[in-house]
Amino acid sequence: MTKKQKVSHIIQILEELFPNPPIPLVHKDAYTLLISVLLSAQCTDERVNKITPLLFKLANNPLDMSNLSIETIREIIKPCGLSPAKSKAIFNLSHILINKYHGEVPNSFEALEELPGVGHKTASVVMSQAFGVPAFPVDTHIHRLATRWGLSSGKNVTQTEKDLKRLTPKSKWNTLHLQIIYFGRAFCPARGHKPEVCPICSIYG
């Protein structure tokens, strides 16, 4: 079996199990998605979804957020971890969005990655899920599974992203990264993994 056939089969399995994967982070627009993804660094989506309603009740747009103090933001988001850095980033990027982008989230990788606290992975999530631009955000879970399935050498997330983009159809990237995340949670965890019962690892593990 060629690698291409293997990838096609893995995609087929993911399509059957998770045909319409929802975005795990609760949001209403590009701005609330951006803030949610920023908060999800080293924090579970579940915890982020518990914290963001409290934050967005006070401020769910750049103008209202920039009127809060960094201390207020930090207190609310403390359970997400890294709150000193994240609160400054949220405050500062909200000001930049107002002053430079008329309060709108820019829809380019370059502009997003220039914002405080926004790395390539965060920009990729926003581009794919808010603007529908093909992207393949690779987090630690996707990195782990791609390595486990032999789709990437697993040197780093940058290499894994390149490998997955090369191996998979561009039209499927935006759905595929979500399908892999959900698959990992359901069948392919980092700890306590049982390869023999995993629908993919039992074949390709």
Chain mean position to CA 106: 17
Could you report the per-residue pLDDT of 123-147, keeping only the tens digit for each? 999 999 999 999 999 998 899 999 9
Domain with CATH 1.10.1670.10 in the chain: 3-22+135-204
Which of 50, 78, 121, 163 is the catalytic position? 121
Q: What is the pLDDT of residue 187?
A: 95
Domain with CATH 1.10.340.30 in the chain: 30-129
CA gap 60, 53 in Å, rounded: 9
User: How many residues comprise the chain?
Assistant: 205
**Which CATH code fits 30-129?**
1.10.340.30
Return the CATH class of domain 3-22+135-204. Answer: mainly alpha
Tell me whether residue 121 is one of the annotated catalytic residues. yes
Q: What is the pLDDT of residue 45?
A: 95
Across residues 180-201, what is the average pLDDT? 94
pLDDT band at residue 3 under the 50/70/90 scheme: confident
Could you report the per-residue pLDDT of 25-84, keeping only the tens digit for each? 999 999 999 999 999 999 999 999 999 999 999 999 999 999 999 999 999 999 999 999
pLDDT band at residue 18 under the 50/70/90 scheme: very high
The phi and psi torsions of 25 (rounded to 5 degrees) equal -95, 125
Chain mean position to CA 8: 23
What is the DSSP secondary structure assignment for residue 2, as one 8-state letter? Answer: -
Q: By CB neighbour count within 10 A (0-12 exposed, 13-18 middle, 19+ buried), where does 154 fall?
A: middle
Could you report the per-residue pLDDT of 151-189, keeping only the tens digit for each? 998 789 999 999 999 999 999 999 999 999 999 999 999
Q: For a pLDDT cut of 70, what percent of the chain falls above it?
A: 100
Q: What is the pLDDT of residue 2?
A: 83
Which of 78, 88, 139, 172 is the catalytic position? 139
Tell me whether residue 45 is one of the annotated catalytic residues. no
CA gap 91, 123 in Å, rounded: 17
Q: What is the pLDDT of residue 72?
A: 98
Residue 115 has pLDDT above 90, yes or no: yes
pLDDT band at residue 4 under the 50/70/90 scheme: confident
